[in-house]
A and B are shown apart, each in its own frame.
Chain A
Amino acid sequence: MPTTAWSIPILSSEKIDVRYVAKLASLALSDDEIDRFGAQLADLLTHVDALAELDTSAVPATAQVIESRNVARPDAVAPCLDRETVLAQAPARQGAFFRVPRIIAS
Chain B
Amino acid sequence: MSEFEAVIGIECHVELKTDAKMFCGCPNTFGGEPNTNVCPVCLGLPGALPVPNARAIEHMLRAGLAFDAEIPAFSKFDRKNYFYPDMPKDYQISQYDMPLTQGGAVRYWLADGTLKVCRLTRIHLEEDTGKSTHAGSSDGRIAGSTFSLIDFNRAGVPLMECVSEPELHGADEAVAYLEALRRTLLALGVSDVKMEEGSLRCDANISIRPRGSRELGTKTEIKNMNSFRSVHRAIESEIARQIALIERGERVTQETRGWDEARGVSVSMRSKEEAHDYRYFPDPDLTPLSVAPARVEELRAQMPERPWQQFERYTGEYGLSVTQATQLIDAPALAGYFDRVVAIAGNARAATNFVLGDLSRLANERSVAVAESAVAPEHLAELIALVEAKQINSKIAKELLERMWDGAGSPRAIVEREGLSQTSDPAAVAALVDGVLAAHPAVVAEYRAGKVNVAGFLVGNVMKASRGKADPALVQELVKQRLG
Chain A interface residues toward B at CB < 8 A: 4-8, 24, 26, 63-64, 66, 68-81, 83, 86-87, 94-103, 105-106
Answer whether A96 and B54 are a contact pair too, CB < 8 Å, given A68-B287, A69-B290, A103-B142. no
Q: Are A78 and B25 in contact (CB under 8 A)?
A: yes
Q: Separation in Å of the A47 CB from the closest CB of chain B? A: 18
B269: interface (CB < 8 Å): yes
Answer whether A5 and B26 are a contact pair too, CB < 8 Å, given A70-B289, A72-B52, A73-B53. no
Q: Known contacts A26-B83, A77-B26, A78-B24; can you find 14 more A-B pairs with CB under 8 A?
A: A5-B281, A7-B279, A8-B279, A63-B282, A70-B289, A70-B290, A71-B286, A71-B287, A96-B151, A97-B35, A99-B150, A100-B85, A100-B132, A101-B147
Q: CA A78 – CA B24 in complex, angstroms?
A: 8
Q: Separation in Å of the B455 CB from the closest CB of chain A? A: 70
Residues of A contacting B: mostly: loop
B296: interface (CB < 8 Å): no
Q: Are A70 and B280 in contact (CB under 8 A)?
A: no
Contact of A81 among B40, B76, B132 (CB under 8 A): B40
Q: Are A97 and B288 in contact (CB under 8 A)?
A: no
Chain B 257-273 per-residue mask, 1 if CB under 8 angstroms from chain A, else 0: 00000000000011000
B interface residues, how many (CB within 8 angstroms): 58
Q: Are A86 and B35 in contact (CB under 8 A)?
A: yes
A66 neighbours in B (Cβ, 8 Å): 287
CB proximity to A under 8 Å, residues B344-372 = none
Contact of B288 among A5, A69, A79, A86 (CB under 8 A): A69
**A75's closest neighbor in chain B, by CB?**
B55
A97 neighbours in B (Cβ, 8 Å): 34-35, 133, 149-151
Chain B 135-172 per-residue mask, 1 if CB under 8 angstroms from chain A, else 0: 01000001001111111100000000000000000000
B56 neighbours in A (Cβ, 8 Å): 75
Q: Separation in Å of the A24 CB from the closest CB of chain B? A: 6
Answer whether A69 and B287 are a contact pair too, CB < 8 Å, given A6-B279, A98-B35. yes
B303: interface (CB < 8 Å): no
B254: interface (CB < 8 Å): no
Q: Separation in Å of the B323 CB from the closest CB of chain A? A: 38
Contact of A102 among B33, B145, B150 (CB under 8 A): B145
B36 neighbours in A (Cβ, 8 Å): 80, 83
B437: interface (CB < 8 Å): no
Q: Separation in Å of the A100 CB from the closest CB of chain B? A: 4
B38: interface (CB < 8 Å): yes
B57: interface (CB < 8 Å): yes
Q: Are A75 and B53 in contact (CB under 8 A)?
A: yes
Q: CA A23 – CA B83 in complex, angstroms?
A: 11
B19: interface (CB < 8 Å): yes
- 10 examples of A-B residue contacts, CB within 8 angstroms: A5-B97, A66-B287, A71-B51, A73-B53, A79-B39, A97-B34, A98-B35, A98-B150, A103-B84, A103-B145
Contact of A103 among B20, B35, B52, B132 (CB under 8 A): B132
Q: CA A87 – CA B151 in complex, angstroms?
A: 11
Q: CA A68 – CA B76 in complex, angstroms?
A: 12
B148 neighbours in A (Cβ, 8 Å): 99-103
Q: Are A75 and B20 in contact (CB under 8 A)?
A: yes
Q: Are B39 and A81 in contact (CB under 8 A)?
A: yes
Chain B 38-69 per-residue mask, 1 if CB under 8 angstroms from chain A, else 0: 11100100000001111111000000000000
Q: Are B20 and A64 in contact (CB under 8 A)?
A: no
Q: Separation in Å of the A35 CB from the closest CB of chain B? A: 23
Q: CA A98 – CA B149 in complex, angstroms?
A: 6
B81: interface (CB < 8 Å): yes
Q: Separation in Å of the A33 CB from the closest CB of chain B? A: 20
Q: Are A96 and B39 in contact (CB under 8 A)?
A: no
Contact of B38 among A71, A74, A80 (CB under 8 A): A80
